[in-house]
Amino acid sequence: MSGNTFGKIFKITTFGESHGVGLGVIIDGTPSNIKIDEEKIQKALDRRRPGQSSKSGDNAAVTSRKEGDKLEILSGIFEGYSTGTPISINIRNTSQHSSDYGNLATSFRPGHADYTFDAKYGIRDYRGGGRSSGRETCARVAAGSVAQQVLEAKLGSGFSIKAYTLEAAGISCKSIDYSVIEENALRAPDLEAAALMEEKIAEIRKAGDSAGAIIECVINGVPAGLGEPVFDKIDAELGKAMLSIGAVKGIEFGEGFNSARMTGSVWNDKMRVSEDGKITFKTNHAGGILGGISNGNQIVFRLAVKPVPSIFIAQKTVNKAGENIDLEIKGRHDVCLAPRIVPVVEAMAAITILDLLLQQKIVMRGRNPFFR
């Protein structure tokens, strides 16, 4: 299987399966002598791990599978600093219930990658989906925390990545308040909307069904000039990163598809020079990117996240013998991926931005105006 590596300079290779011994990531290209805080990596993993509870009790959106997701750093960090050599991180599985998936050995779940993996490789790990499981993303989150720490060291406190649930189960946020994102089960920036989302998702869970979501991500502190036209545009690279997340089915930047309904005189972001001599934009319809290069504004994009395919309603499908069957699944599954996919989105954004910054350094022959 190819396609397990992402990035050109800051490269990550993930490995492992949902019900195997464990998962992990090898990170190559980390600059040396950067302080890497293991506790920050663990905290990032804790935000993504399964079995999370909300402050009011059980979280209706997430699986009941309990995994500690404790990381083990094998190489690349010495006395708390990166050495410049590959960083290897392992995360062991501790709560596999593989027997729950016995009936999937010869049948294919609708909406899941069971059929396509079998068609491509002729063999698949049916226990929890193997490599196609969302559990694979824990390795990305670990790598993303390393990337985030490098970015903070190099770009300073003005750099930040913030993702959140803008909509879930058909209920949208009416306001954006970053301070409440970690105060509710859905990681939504609107407490009132979050409560309605929880209520709706609880109903959907009771019915044995699942729900989709829209995630918004805002990146602050990226200077103008980042991105490699023509084929390595910053939005193209972020698009690839986000669409590599299994449940993501769409992405838009700035006004996105609404741009098709606007006129140029409205869509074009008016430019001015501020009192301190900086070029600013009156609006941000472009989402912080022009010509595939950052313009210094906030980079803003939204993702469409599909409903979880593993549902507890009988579904019509086929088996490997080519027979039509009705399938009822067992196991522990998320109902809505919104709260757990948020840290994955932030991680992939950090990995992408750092990789582009390091490419910029090579293009400018060692001079990088973005790095302090």
DSSP code per residue over 283-300: --TTTTEETTEE-SSPEE
In a domain, 371, yes or no: no
Contact 95, 65 (CB under 8 A): yes
Contact 286, 293 (CB under 8 A): no
CATH at 214? 3.60.150.10
Total tally of structural domains belonging to the chain: 1
- Residue of 143, 125, 144 lying closest to 18 (CA atoms): 125
**Residue 64 pLDDT grade (very low, low, confident, very high; cuts 50, 70, 90):** low
In a domain, 133, yes or no: yes
Q: Per-residue pLDDT tens for 66-108?
A: 667 999 999 999 999 999 999 999 999 886 555 666 678 889 9
**Alpha-carbon dihedral 110, 115, 116, 118, rounded to 10 degrees:** 160
pLDDT of residue 57: 54
In a domain, 43, yes or no: yes
**List of long-range contacts for 53-59, beta carbons under 8 Å, 24+ apart:** 54/184, 54/185, 54/198, 55/183, 55/184, 55/185, 56/185, 59/185, 59/339
In a domain, 368, yes or no: no
Chain center to CA of 15: 17
Q: What average pLDDT does the chain have?
A: 91
CA distance 313 to 62: 17
In a domain, 9, yes or no: yes
CA distance 5 to 26: 9
CA distance 167 to 174: 10
pLDDT of residue 365: 52
Residue 21, domain extent: 5-363
**Residue 29 pLDDT grade (very low, low, confident, very high; cuts 50, 70, 90):** very high
In a domain, 370, yes or no: no
Question: Could you give the 3-state DSSP secondary structure of residue 172?
Answer: strand
Q: How many helices (H) and strands (E) does the chain have?
A: 7, 20
Strands 293-294 and 289-290: antiparallel
Predicted TM-score of the model (pTM): 0.93
Lowest mean pLDDT among 1-10, 48-57, 216-225: 48-57
Q: Per-residue pLDDT tens for 292-344?
A: 999 999 999 999 999 999 999 999 999 999 999 999 887 778 899 999 999 99
- Residue of 325, 336, 370, 347 lying closest to 188 (CA atoms): 336
Contact 44, 144 (CB under 8 A): yes
**Statement: residue 191 has pLDDT above 80:** yes
In a domain, 42, yes or no: yes
Other C-beta atoms within 10 Å of 138: how many? 30
Q: Per-residue pLDDT tens for 254-299?
A: 999 999 999 999 999 999 999 999 999 999 999 999 999 999 999 9
DSSP label of 232: B
In a domain, 372, yes or no: no
pLDDT of residue 370: 57
CA distance 140 to 14: 7
Residue carrying the six token digits 């593993």: 310
C-alpha distances (whole Å) from 197 to each of 165, 234, 335, 338, 364 are 10, 32, 12, 10, 48
